[in-house]
Amino acid sequence: MPESAPLTREPPPRAATSRDKPREITVQSLLGLNRNEIEILMRLVAWGQLARAQVPAIATRGHRSVSINSVNAIMRGLRQKLAAHDIRLGTIREFGWKLPQEDREKIVAMIKPRQGLGIHTEAMDAKTSSRVAG
């Protein structure tokens, strides 16, 4: 086949990768949080407040806890990321941090699946229908 044939100019086919799949929208991706920040935020949503001493046990790197000296940096980064979305993370002096009820409700509203936002998928429907049928 001559080199000028149309097929020789086409790139070879490639296998589908995770980049080709549509990305699922999560609270973590919406707010731009890392793994430690999302763990801390979920506890704040559940409990409303969090003691400074609890953060090192929540935020881990591999199997090691984060040092107590790193807590302020972690919480400062979380506060800045949340502020960009009009979510306030308050400080409780000599204790830790609090997440006001109205901001907890905002986050819960982000968590709830909604159609049309890419959060609710056919895979979720299949799981739900198999649970109901089984």
Q: Is the pTM of this model over 0.85?
A: no
Looking at residue 36, what is its pLDDT? 84
Looking at residue 17, what is its pLDDT? 61
- 2-55 pLDDT, tens digit per residue, is 555 555 566 666 666 656 555 566 777 778 888 888 889 999 999 999 999 888
Considering only residues 114 and 112, tell me which one the structure prediction assigns the higher pLDDT. Answer: 112
38 Rama class: left (phi>0) / alpha (psi -120 to 50) / beta: alpha
Looking at residue 24, what is its pLDDT? 63
All domains of the chain in start order, with CATH: 25-112 (1.10.10.10)
Looking at residue 119, what is its pLDDT? 44
What does the alpha-carbon distance between residue 37 and residue 87 come to, in Å, rounded to a whole number?
14
- 58-84 pLDDT, tens digit per residue, is 877 666 777 778 888 889 999 999 999
7 contact partners, CB below 8 Å, separation of at least 6: 1
